Homo-oligomer: A and B are copies of this chain.
Amino acid sequence: MLARTDRTTFRQRPQRGSFDPAVIAAILDEALVCTVAFVEDGRPVGIPTTHWRMGDRVLFHGGQGSRLAKAMAAGAELCITATLVDGMVLARSAFHHSMNYRSVVLFGRAVEVTDPAEKEAAFAALIDKLAPGRSAAVRPVTAKELAATRLLALAITEGSAKTRSGPPVDDEADISWPVWAGVVPVMQARGEPVADGGGEGASSSRGETPWNHASV
C-alpha cells in the first residue's frame, strides 16, 4: 500500500479511494494519456502527455526543447492525473447524476534517465504499450534520436486511486419517478487500423499488424 499523506487523505467519499499499488498500476496502464501539472511562476500548468509504466515508476518523454520535459528534468514538484471514464450514471433525480470512472493522482518529482540502454528499453516499453510486441519489429532508435529525447521517471510513492462504479443511487422517494435510470457505459475503443499509404516502396501491405485491435 502507498503511504497515506496529508495531500492524499480522502476528504470526500473515502470509500471510493484506494492506496493499492495494483489498482493504481492497472489504471495507469489502461490510460493512454495523463495530465502532468507543475508550478510555473507560482501558477499551475497542466500539460497532457503520454505516459507508461515500468514496475513502480511512471515514465514520460519529450523533446529536448519541451517545456514540460525541462520542468520535469529540473526536479519540479509534479502532480500526475490519469482518468478513465467508465459510464454516465443517469439517476432519476437531477441531483444524483454521476459518472463512473477510475482515476489516479500521483505526487512527486521526476528524475531524468540518461543511460542510453535504459532509455532504449523504456521507449521499447512505450511502443509495446501501444501495440504489444511491436518494438521488436520497428526500425530501432538511433543514438542521435535517443539523445534528442528526454526520458523522465517518477517513482510511484505518493498518490491514490479513486473509482466509482455501479448504478445510480437515488433517494427512496424518487424510485417511482417516470424516467429511465441506469448507466450508459463509456469506454475507450479502438477502431480498424488505417494503413499508411507510404511512399514509393512503402511496406504498408507487407507487414502484419502485430496487435489485437479488437481489444479495448
Chain A residues packing against B (C-beta within 8 Å): 7, 11-12, 32-33, 35, 37-40, 42-48, 50, 63, 65-67, 77-81, 83, 85, 88, 90-95, 97, 99, 101, 103, 105, 107, 123-124, 126-127, 130-131, 134-135, 137-142, 145, 149, 167-168, 170, 172, 174-204, 206-211, 213
- Supposing A92-B138, A193-B183, A203-B176 touch, asked if A45 and B37 sit within 8 A by C-beta, the answer is yes
Q: Which residues of B contact A79 (CB under 8 A)?
A: 37, 43-46
Closest to A32 in B: B85
Given contacts A92-B203, A93-B139, A94-B140, contact A195 B180 (CB under 8 A): yes
Q: A186–B190 contact, CB under 8 A?
A: yes
- Tell me if B175 and A66 are in contact (CB < 8 A): no
Residues on B with beta carbons closer than 8 Å to the beta carbon of A202: 175-176, 181
How many identical subunits does the complex contain? 2
A10 to chain B, nearest CB (A): 10
In whole Å, how far is A151's beta carbon from the nearest beta carbon of chain B? 13
Task: Specify the chain B residue showing the minimal Cβ separation from A169.
Answer: B196
Cross-chain contact B99 with A32 (CB below 8 angstroms): yes
A107, B35: Cβ atoms under 8 Å?
no
Select which of B47, B183, B201 is within 8 A of A81 by beta carbon: B47
- Contact yes or no, B81 A43, CB < 8 A: no
Closest B residue by C-beta to A129:
B88
Q: Is the CB of B81 within 8 A of A35?
A: yes
How far, in whole Å, are A176 and B177 apart by their CA atoms in the complex?
63
